[in-house]
Amino acid sequence: MAAAPITQDVMTIPRKLPEGPTNLIGLTRDGLRSALIAKGTPEKQAKMRAGQIWQWMYQWGVRDFDGMTNLSKAFRAQLAADFVIEIPEVVSKQVSKDGTRKYLVRIAGGHEVEVVYIPEEGRGTLCISSQVGCTLTCSFCHTGTQKLVRNLTAGEIVGQIMLARDDLGEWPEQGAPNVEARLLSNIVLMGMGEPLYNFENVRDAMKIAMDPEGIQLSRRRITLSTSGVVPEIARTAEEIGCLLAVSFHATTDEVRDSLVPINKRWNIETLLDALRAYPRVSNSERITFEYVMLDGVNDSKEDAHRLVKLIEGIPAKVNLIPFNEWPGAPYKRSSGNRIHAFADIIHAAGYSSPIRRPRGEDILAACGQLKSATERARKSRKQIDAEAGL
Ligand code: SAH
Ligand code: SF4
C-alpha cells in the first residue's frame, strides 16, 4: 500500500509560545510547582502554595493574584510580578434561537477558534477545539480545507472551558461546596482540529478539567473525538481515560480512504483492533461511532448492515450526523428517510443509534461549519477596513 500523504508537521511546533511572563493557566500541578520554585518559592512550601493557587484559579475562577486572600500580600505581589493568569479572549458571542452559544475566541498570535455551548435538558455540552485548522483533509469537513496554523496550548484548551464558565456565571461562590457543574456538565473535543495530533496539550488540559480541586468534570463527561490516529488511542485510554468517539463514516476502506484520508495509513481493521482494546484499558463504557450521512456515498442499507458486522463485540453507540452543508461542499445530506432506515437497522442490531439534531444552525455552529463562520467574521472585518480606507 502506498504511503498515505499525511503530514504531521504539528509535532515540530514548539509547545511554548514566545517569551513573556509565564501564564499559570494550563500548567499541570507539577508544572505549577516547578514554576514557583524557579521564581524563588522555597521547595518545602511550593506544593502547598501551588495547591492554593490552583484552587483559586480552577475552583473559584479567580484571575487576579490580589484576590487570593489566603496568601500573604508580599507573596501575591511577587506572583503578580512573575506570572500572569490568562485565558483566551472572547471576540464575539452569538446566541442561536435554540439557545446554543458560539464564542469566537482569539488566542496568542491573533488566531481565532470557535467554541460552542449546547444547552440540553438537565445538562450542557461545550464543544472545544484543539488546533487552529487541521492537518488532515477529510473531504466533507470544512475545517479540513483550512491549513493547520498551530496546536493550541494546554492553557488555551482549558481556557475555553473557563471562558464559557465565565459567560454562564458558573463559578461557585467562594467557600460554597464545589458541586458538579450543571450548566456546563460535559465536554466534547469535537471542534476544530485532531486532538490526538496535539496529545500532550489535550491530555494536560483534560487533567486540569478533571482535577477534583477545580473544574471537577468526571472523565465520563469528557468525550474525545478522533479521526483514527491509532497509535494514540491506547495512550488516550491510559493517560486520559475519557470517553472516546471515532469519526468512522464508512464501512469499506475504499470509501473511508476517500472521506477520512488517515484511513490510508491506519485502515478500518487496524482502527477496530485499537477500539476493541479501548474500553478495557480506560475502564469506560461505550465507544461512540460517529457517522456522517452523505447522500449516495455511505448511506445505503448495505452500509448499515456492514457497519453492524464491523462493530460486533465492541460496546458501541452509533451517532448519525446529518451532513452539514457548506459552500462548495462536494456532498449532499442524505434524505430523512435514508437516515431513519439506516438508524433502524443499527437499532435492530441492539445498538443505540441517535440521529444528531443539528444545533445552532442559524449561527453556523453545527459540526463542520466552524470554519465558515470564522471566515465570514474575517471577511466582514476586511470589509470594514476597506470601508475605512485602510
Ligand atoms: N478531528 C476530530 C474532531 C473534530 S470533528 C474528528 O475528526 O473526529 C467532529 C465531528 O464532526 C467528526 O465526527 C467529524 O467527522 C464531523 N464533521 C466534520 N464536518 C462535518 C460536516 N460538514 N457535517 C457533519 N459532520 C461533520
Ligand atoms: Fe480534521 Fe476532524 Fe475535520 Fe477530519 S473531520 S479534517 S480530522 S477536524
Over residues 5-37, the pLDDT tens digits come to 343 444 344 444 456 799 999 999 999 999 999
**Atom number in ligand 1 closest to CA 322:** 24
Identity of the residue numbered 50: A
Which residue's CA is the nearest one to ligand 2's atom 4? 138
Per-residue pLDDT, averaged over 40-44, amounts to 96
Helix 43-54 crosses helix 29-38 at what angle (to 10 degrees)? 130
290 CA closest ligand 1 atom index: 13
Note the ligand closest to the C-alpha atom of 141: 1
CATH of 22-84, one of 1.10.150.530, 2.40.50.140, 2.60.40.10, 3.90.180.10: 1.10.150.530
Q: What is the pLDDT of residue 3?
A: 38
- Side-chain-side CA neighbours of 50 within 13 Å: the count stands at 23
Ligand 1 centroid distance, CA of 247 (Å): 7
96 C-beta closer than 6 A to ligand 1 = no
- For a pocket test of ligand 2, which of 6, 151, 232, 247 has the largest count of ligand atoms closer than 8 A to its C-beta? 247
| Residue 290: strand, helix, or coil | strand
CA distances from 50 to 32, 214, 280, 376 (A): 6, 13, 34, 42
**In this structure, what are the phi and psi dihedrals at residue 293, rounded to the nearest 5 degrees?**
-90, 105
- 192 Cα: distance to centroid of ligand 2 (angstroms): 7
C-alpha cell at 134: 487541521
Q: Which residues pair with 83 in a beta bridge?
A: 22
Ligand 1 pocket mutation pick from 139, 152, 256, 292 by most atoms within 8 angstroms of CB: 292
Q: Choose among 334, 273, 259: nearest CA to 304.
A: 334
Catalytic, 367? Answer yes
Residues 6 or more apart in contact with residue 268 via CB below 8 angstroms: 250, 251, 252, 253, 256, 310
Q: How confident is the model at residue 142 (pLDDT cuts 50, 70, 90)?
A: confident
Q: Phi first, then psi: what are they for 265, rounded to 5°?
A: -90, -45
pLDDT at 54 over 80: yes
Domain 89-381, what fold?
Answer: TIM Barrel (3.20.20)
Q: Which atom of ligand 2 is nearest to the CA of 131?
A: 8
pLDDT at 15: 46
For all residues of the chain together, what is the average pLDDT? Answer: 88
The catalytic residue among 19, 134, 367, 375 is 367
Question: Domain map of the chain by residue range?
Answer: 22-84, 89-381
Q: Scan for cell 468517539, then name that residue.
A: 245
- Regarding the beta carbon of 293 and ligand 1, being less than 6 Å apart is answered no
Pocket test for ligand 2, best of 138, 149, 259, 291 (most atoms within 8 A of CB): 138
Ligand nearest to the CA of 260: 2
Closest-lying ligand 1 atom to the alpha carbon of residue 326 = 22
Q: What separation in Å is there between the alpha carbon of 349 and the centre of ligand 1?
A: 25
pLDDT confidence tier of residue 362, bands split at 50, 70 and 90 = confident
Instruction: Assess contact for 56 and 68: CB atoms under 8 A.
Output: yes
Pocket test for ligand 2, best of 143, 246, 258 (most atoms within 8 A of CB): 143
Which band of pLDDT confidence, cut at 50, 70 and 90, is reported for residue 173?
Answer: confident
pLDDT tens readout for residues 63-78: 999 999 999 999 999 9
Would you say residue 376 has pLDDT above 50?
Answer: no
From the candidates 43, 112, 114, 361, which is the catalytic residue? Answer: 114
Given a contact cutoff of 8 angstroms between Cβ atoms, the answer to whether 278 and 235 are in contact is: no
The pTM of the full predicted model, rounded to 2 decimals, is 0.89
**Ligand nearest to the CA of residue 244, numbered in listed order:** 1
pLDDT over 80 (residue 227): yes
Cβ-contact 118, 381 below 8 angstroms: no
pLDDT of amino acid 177: 61
Looking at the DSSP bridge assignments, the partners of residue 116 are 102, 127
> What confidence score (pLDDT) does residue 103 get?
95
> What is the per-residue pLDDT across 178-215, written as a single tens digit (0 to 9) for each?
555 479 999 999 999 999 999 999 999 999 999 999 99
Which cell numbers hold the place of 252?
Answer: 469499506
C-beta 155 within 6 A of ligand 1: no
Closest ligand to C-alpha of residue 359 is 1
Least confident among 6-20, 77-91, 110-124: 6-20
Give the model's confidence band at 172: pLDDT under 50 very low, under 70 low, under 90 confident, else very high. confident
Q: What DSSP letter does each residue of 327-358 carry, written as one string?
A: TT-S--BPPHHHHHHHHHHHHHTT-B-PBPPP
Ligand 1 close to Cβ of residue 368 (< 6 A): yes
Q: How confident is the model at residue 383 (pLDDT cuts 50, 70, 90)?
A: very low
Q: Is the CB of 247 within 6 Å of ligand 1?
A: yes
* Percent of the chain scoring above 70 in pLDDT: 85
Of all protein residues, the one whose alpha carbon is nearest to atom 6 of ligand 2 is 144
Phi (first) and psi of residue 184, to 5 degrees: -105, 90
| 335 CA to centre of ligand 1 in angstroms | 19
**310-344 exposure pattern, b = at least 16 Cβ within 10 A, e = fewer:** bbeebebbbbbbbbbebeebebebbeeebbeebbe
Query: Over the stretch 262-301, which tens digit does the pLDDT of each residue have?
Result: 999 999 999 999 999 987 766 667 999 999 999 999 999 9
**Among residues 213, 207, 198, 216, which one has the least CA distance to residue 152?**
198
At 281 the pLDDT is: 65
Nearest to 134 by CA among 189, 214, 59, 174: 189
pLDDT of 299: 98
